[in-house]
Structure 1
Amino acid sequence: MKKYIIASILLLLFFSPTIYWHLKPETSIDITVIDKTVPSADYREHLGLFWVLTNYKATKPSGGNYAIEEDYFGYDPKLGEPMNSYNINRKVDLIYIADTYGVYTDDIDGNKKGTRSAKIYGGMEENEWQAILRSKGANTTLIAEYNSFAAPTAEEPRSLMEEILGVEWSGWSGRYFDDLTSKEIPAWLIASYEDQYHQKWAFTGGGLALVHYSDQVVIIGEEDIEGKVSFSWTDKGQKKFPKASSSEYPYWFDILTPKDSALVYAAYDIHLSKEGKEVLKQAGIPASFPAVIHQPENKTYYFAGDYADFTKDNLMKWERSDFFMTIFSNDSSKFFWKSYVPLMRGILDEVKSDNTK
């Protein structure tokens, strides 16, 4: 009998996180998600966001959970065409622009080589941006993240977006790669480097790749970079999101300057040798720049990275699953669990609070 009691207690402890999640009340939040970069049915560019929404128990005003396959505006990989043309005639609680880069012909076949090809669909259009603003009320929170400014978005809608988001885009994007010889390096990046410097791509080990929208490329090899790109909360950011932690950031980012009225809640830092710093200086690129920017007056956030890009949907329906996943996560997923999830939970708490006012 004693063994059965002990076994029952252990089972209860093991399943208590999911039991608690099912007992937790739902929170109705009217959310609009825009993701134009959905070439395949993994939905990875907004999967991370939907993980948070499910775990938070955010539900649609009409009832039911947000479905990753249908509750967004963008490209439908199953139909092979755009879906849900953005034309909302009501004020919503939260607008999240996950990615506007788009879908290209080679993407349909997986584009394992990372080549550039003809655009099928993508970029933020001016009329779409105006429609977004029409659905943004005084209490609506607007979040945009990388890639919202780069090609194929044209200069005019980009300028309109910059004004509302309180940022100025530099035109530079970048990423740290663990291995500059791996298949993760896009073919277009190697081709641009070789065209610019008239020499073969011969990098080994880890390194930082920086690309300007004009196709200018800067590569800093492992001999001049100390560690990866770090993501750190500022004092204001830590106060705003006390449950979020700093971490290494493993994906693509863009470099922006905040406007006077904007607040920087987190920043990226690249730790370089003297020679590495000089390379950045010659290109006009800072070694430290904003990661999370908040414009309080317009209730907007800009995430200067691929934050919602995620590849797993495990433990959605476990309370405090982000805590457990932080312990067992690898280097590529720690940012998601330690930084992004608590950041989004904090913003959802803020949206929830606004709804009760």
Structure 2
Amino acid sequence: MKYLGRKIVFFLIILIPFWSFLVWFFYPKTELPGLILDKTVLESSGVEHRSFNWITTNRKFVKPDGSQYEISEDYYGFFPVNRPEYVVKDLTVFNNADLDSMARDMEYVYYTDAYGVYTNEWVYGRDINERSRLVYGGLSEQSYKLFEKMFRNRKLTLTEFNNLASPTPLQLRFKMQRLLELDFTGWTGRYYHSLDTLLNPDIPGWMRRLHRYYYKKPFDYPDIPGMVFVHETERIFVLQMDKDVEHELPIINTGEYLIDQYNLPEFIRYPYWFDVCFAKDTNDVFSTYKIHTTERGDSIMASHHLPNEFPAIIGDHQEHLRWYFCGDWADSPTPFGLSYFKGVQFMRKFFYNNRDDLDRKKFFWEYYEPLVSGLFNDYIDVMDSLEGPRPLPPVHRNYIPYYRRYNIPLPDVDLIASGRVYNPNEVLGSEYKERAYRDSVLQAEREEASRTGYYIGQYGDTVFLTDKEMMELEEQTRYENSMQSRRDSIKRRRLDSVRGVGEFADPYRLIKIDSTYLRGGRIPVNIPLTKAEMKRRAQMKAAAEKAAQNRAEAIVDSMLDSESGASDTEFEEEDPAPQNEELSAGFNSTNNRPKSTRPILDKRYKLGGRLPSNFKAKDFKAPEEIDAMVYQGESPEPKEELPADNLSQENPNTTESQPEETEAPAQEAISENSGPRWHVIIASFPDKAMAEEFVRRKKKSMELLYVAANDTYRVSYANFEDRRSANKEVINLMTSYPDAWVLKVD
């Protein structure tokens, strides 16, 4: 008898999925008409809104006709057919009366993703991690109007990551920001389990190129976890595990209201894309992202005007009807088949790997599903008692937006949507979308014809090519390939010339700092010189070298004539003073002492500054690297910024040698220093007069230091007894002197 009982219990456990499905099948339906907007759909599975459809199916939310919401049909946005063919069902076909009717009849809207679809990933089927031109995407005016009308009618409105960023036009972004009472900073971030591009193919190519452009060095990091932050104005920085962050993943800290109301965990990891937004009203912040940074990581984030904790959920604290999720939360790989089982949430721990940091299914089961289900349950309880309309949120005039607060130029959304390549002859906007589709179809027909000898015509008929047409097509294809290769080569030459890297790097280039850009985070803009300017500078350089050689020979001749008959020993013992301007060239201009009484007759002698013997090109860092090194307490030898008053500075790339001196002068400071001091250096000059003129124009009390090893005069803004105080002063001076660094003087 006891064995029979065990068998019954065993079969009951085995049949649990069956009983769960039966309960779901007979569970009462809830009529809840609504709208899902998703413009980033590359396949019928609808990954970007899959998590939300899982909830509507599991909770038996149905349309007015009683049917369930289908992932591949019941949404507005991009509908893939057969590459490159597609169908768009957009809100742009509705007028104001239609939108009023929709806002009156529907109970919710959920804008999951407006990032869009691009030619590289849809038309050509190439790497989706590469930048390419926009085919379809971005919020439209009708999308905003519907969201606004739903808000006014006190309906449930939800949206999340990548509905405010490109390619949504700026004017619609500003409207949505006021409606959501938030401020989008333009920063997005993501966690990567490995920063090594060879081991982690998820790091996109455009991110690596942006890193090379911004820092003048490749995206070369070890095989360690980290986070990458990217700004829409093409700035980037990387936080590395142990060096910059103590915990490799962003942590979502949830407030008391959501914990008590929906039983959400207080802390949970989030391993995917997120954006940085600020709430205009702090009462609207229901949870936050926490980046557990080190002291160095805090400094890096502070240099880009970012805190290490920022909102994750921004909602309507008054009525709890408007919500913005600061991440790509609806994108989840959770199996959709589990939505047909009632009570499957109690078995959720069997459906994810808690030890895998990259497993986003845990975030869905433990956070997203109970949160969204709870929001809909609360709305269903009160939706019959809500009465509209209600006014728009206040303007918050005392709040200064991020872009205006730090004087950041607004991004060019059209350039971003066109692949970040500027071409004045390119057609942008809606006209370009039509042309992109037409060109993609022609390209597909041409590829099909070159492979099979026929293609499907405009009206569905099969068009066969003759032998002559095949030959012409092959010749045209070869010609276009060669022309494209030539254009790519020319473009690569130009980029290498402008950026000063690669095989075709231009040695004559001027680096200028754009002072209208963000204070404290400026991007070096490389301006190539014209051929005429290069020729003129080469001629001036040759003439200066010739004149210097002539002066040196004249000095030697005059000295030999005046000392004729004297022995080498007598010559060395004499220490004559300069008698004319020509002879003064042989004396040190710093202290009016002769460099050497014995002339040096080396034919390689050239006048000018020389580099120290231990100089290496890699010792000169970019401004961004200097900042990062200063946070570590190092004192680099940076590239000095050209001052605004056109004072020339020493060239760190000079490779010309000076005559060998009989003995190297000791390091000399213009001002007297007692004991070792840490000086904050803001500028460096090859000549004392230039340095004094720089200090005079700044009209501040500064100190001049002469560094004999580099033969330079450096301007000290202040000096301290310890390095920590000097580093703090460097951080305070980043706005005015972004290239400042710390130098120890004994």
Please report the TM-score for the alignment, with normalisation by the length of structure 2.
0.46
Give me the whole-angstrom Cα distance separating, in 2, the residues matched to 1:155 and 1:144: 17
1:211-247 deviation digits (Å, cap 9, x = unpaired): 1110100111123222211112112332332245631
Q: Which residue of the other structure, out of 206, 213, 221, is the alignment partner of 1:203?
A: 221
Matching residue of 1:176:
191
Matching residue of 1:338:
366
Greater share of residues in strand:
1
Give me the whole-angstrom Cα distance separating, in 2, the residues matched to 1:289 and 1:190: 26
Is 1:305 the counterpart of 2:327 in the alignment? yes
Is 1:98 the counterpart of 2:119 in the alignment? no
1:235-264 deviation digits (Å, cap 9, x = unpaired): 233233224563100111011111227521
* Between 253-262 and 53-62, the greater mean CA deviation after superposition: 253-262
* Between 132-141 and 63-72, the greater mean CA deviation after superposition: 132-141
Give me the whole-angstrom Cα distance separating, in 2, the residues matched to 1:323 and 1:188: 42
Q: Give the letter for the 1:128 counterpart.
A: S
Give me the whole-angstrom Cα distance separating, in 1, the residues matched to 2:306 and 2:226: 16
CA contact (8 A) 1:292 1:303 kept: yes
Matching residue of 2:246:
226
Is 1:162 the counterpart of 2:177 in the alignment? yes
Q: Which residue of the other structure, out of 82, 90, 103, is the alignment partner of 2:88?
A: 82
Q: Give the letter for the 2:237 counterpart.
A: V
Matching residue of 2:311:
290
Is 1:115 the counterpart of 2:130 in the alignment? yes
CA-CA distance at 1:137 after TM superposition: 5.0
Equivalent residue runs for 1:123-272 within 5 Å: 123-136=138-151, 138-180=153-195, 181=197, 182-204=200-222, 205-223=224-242, 224-227=244-247, 228-243=249-264, 246-260=267-281, 262-272=283-293
Equivalent residue runs for 1:44-63 within 5 Å: 44-63=47-66
Is 1:326 the counterpart of 2:349 in the alignment? yes
CA-CA distance at 1:141 after TM superposition: 0.9
Q: Give the letter for the 1:281 counterpart.
A: A
Give me the whole-angstrom Cα distance separating, in 2, the residues matched to 1:117 and 1:289: 31
Say if 1:106 and 1:323 are closer, same or farther in 2 by CA, change over 3 A: farther
Unaligned runs of 5+ in 2: 386-746
Give me the whole-angstrom Cα distance separating, in 1, the residues matched to 2:90 and 2:170: 25
1:147-188 deviation digits (Å, cap 9, x = unpaired): 111111111100110111111111111011111221111111
CA-CA distance at 1:296 after TM superposition: 4.0
SS state at 2:147 partner: helix
SS state at 1:336 partner: helix
Give me the whole-angstrom Cα distance separating, in 1, the residues matched to 2:170 and 2:331: 25
Q: Give the letter for the 1:162 counterpart.
A: Q
CA-CA distance at 1:321 after TM superposition: 2.0
Equivalent pairs counted in the alignment come to 357
CA contact (8 A) 1:32 1:94 kept: yes
Q: Give the letter for the 1:18 counterpart.
A: F
Give me the whole-angstrom Cα distance separating, in 1, the residues matched to 2:346 and 2:127: 33
Give me the whole-angstrom Cα distance separating, in 1, the residues matched to 2:107 and 2:55: 16
CA contact (8 A) 2:38 2:113 kept: yes
Is 1:353 the counterpart of 2:353 in the alignment? no
Q: Give the letter for the 1:222 counterpart.
A: M
CA contact (8 A) 1:94 1:351 kept: no
Matching residue of 1:25:
28
1:88-137 deviation digits (Å, cap 9, x = unpaired): 43221111000111110011155435111110011112233113333555
SS state at 1:82 partner: strand
SS state at 1:309 partner: coil
CA contact (8 A) 2:251 2:291 kept: yes
Q: Give the letter for the 2:21 counterpart.
A: T
1:66-101 deviation digits (Å, cap 9, x = unpaired): 001111110001251312435343221111000111
CA contact (8 A) 1:323 1:337 kept: no
Q: Give the letter for the 1:225 counterpart.
A: V
SS state at 2:340 partner: coil
Give me the whole-angstrom Cα distance separating, in 1, the residues matched to 2:283 and 2:174: 16
Give identity over the alignment, percent: 29
SS state at 2:338 partner: coil
Say if 1:15 and 1:34 are closer, same or farther in 2 by CA, change over 3 A: same
CA RMSD of aligned residues (A): 2.0
1:262-288 deviation digits (Å, cap 9, x = unpaired): 521111101111111111011111110
1:190-226 deviation digits (Å, cap 9, x = unpaired): 1111100000111122111001110100111123222
* Between 43-52 and 23-32, the greater mean CA deviation after superposition: 23-32
Q: Give the letter for the 2:383 counterpart.
A: N
Unaligned runs of 5+ in 1: none
SS state at 1:265 partner: strand
CA-CA distance at 1:327 after TM superposition: 4.0
* Between 342-351 and 307-316, the greater mean CA deviation after superposition: 307-316
CA contact (8 A) 1:36 1:75 kept: yes
Q: Give the letter for the 2:108 counterpart.
A: L
Give me the whole-angstrom Cα distance separating, in 2, the residues matched to 1:100 and 1:351: 25
Say if 1:77 and 1:160 are closer, same or farther in 2 by CA, change over 3 A: same
Q: Give the letter for the 1:178 counterpart.
A: H
SS state at 1:251 partner: coil
SS state at 1:107 partner: coil
Q: Give the letter for the 1:209 counterpart.
A: V
Say if 1:216 and 1:34 are closer, same or farther in 2 by CA, change over 3 A: same
CA-CA distance at 1:11 after TM superposition: 3.2
